[in-house]
Amino acid sequence: MNAHEIEYQITGEEMQFVEIELDPQEAVISEPGSFMFMNDGINMETIFGDGSSERSSVFDKLLSAGKRLLTGERLFMTAFTNEGVGKKRVGFASPYPGKIIPMDLSGLQGKLICQKDAFLCAAKGVAVGIEFQKKLGTELFGGEGFIMQKLEGDGLAFVHAGGTITKRSLALGEVLKIDTGCLVAFTKDIDYDIEYVGGIKNTLFGGEGVFYAKLTGPGDVWIQSLPFSRLANKVIAAAPRVGGKSKGEGSILGGLGDLLDGDNRL
């Protein structure tokens, strides 16, 4: 194996975290901001890229960095290496309610394509890159599904998605249509495209989006029930308006409720 062999344990239900066990000199990489805890003896280091291609030329590294900059990704990742004696543990937390999915790339033909920002952490040696969808319709209308991450290698990677996760295995030629935000990941043999919903009423009044992702087998697809964009929109819609009404808005008491609660701003 090129990637480090690691052991793990996922804890929790709605807000999970993954605890990874490292032997001496084993390492794991993560996106900045997911770190939760680590044992003494683990060294944390910010690295350029994902650390999977340390022998690559300067040009290759700059090209990879340029792709990440264009798509809003960070140039740097964090590597956690066990430099102590004996086994050590490091933990990484979910960024919002959902599930952490362990992906063994050695059993997925060495490549997984997933939604942008789905990657949480992986054994060092797993390459984390950018996957541009080549079809014109996907580029113009894909929305959340246009730019995706690709995880390559033969090690363990951990992907996070919102709500409940379901896996669907598609036979050769079998088609599955998904909301672009609900798509989490798929294996490399899946054909991915964007399709117009169709119909004036659906477009103007449907409320489900104008396009959906069309996936054709063979291969495996992972779907989430709560995309982060949908969660964020609900939070924003429920939040008090700046300079507007707050606690009494939408209630029977209205402004009277604010007065009774000690808020004199009507």
pTM of the predicted protein model = 0.78
pLDDT of residue 228: 74
Q: What's the rounded mean pLDDT across residues 16-44?
A: 93
pLDDT at position 21 over 80: yes
pLDDT of residue 188: 92
pLDDT of residue 101: 94
pLDDT of residue 53: 62
Q: What's the rounded mean pLDDT across residues 223-245?
A: 72
For the segment 139-187, what is each residue's pLDDT rounded down to a tens digit?
A: 444 445 467 888 999 999 999 998 889 999 999 999 999 988 889 999 9
CA distance 14 to 98: 5
Average pLDDT, the chain: 78
pLDDT at position 206 over 60: no
pLDDT band, very low/low/confident/very high, at 244 (cuts 50, 70, 90):
low
Domains defined for the chain, CATH in brackets: 7-236 (3.60.160.10)
Which tokens sit at 10? 């996922």
pLDDT of residue 42: 96
3-state secondary structure the chain: CCCCCCEEEEECCCCCEEEEEECCCCEEEECCCCEEEECCCEEEEEEECCCCCCCCCHHHHHHHHHHHHHCCCCCEEEEEEECCCCCEEEEEECCCCEEEEEEEHHHCCCEEEEECCCEEEEECCCEEEEEECCCHHHHHHCHHHCEEEEEECCCEEEEEEECCEEEEEECCCCEEEEECCCEEEEECCCEEEEEECCCHHHHHHCCCCCEEEEEECCEEEEEECCCHHHHHHHHHHHCCCCCCCCCCCCCCCCHHHHHHCCCCCC
pLDDT at position 67 over 90: no
Q: At 66, phi and psi to the nearest 5?
A: -65, -40
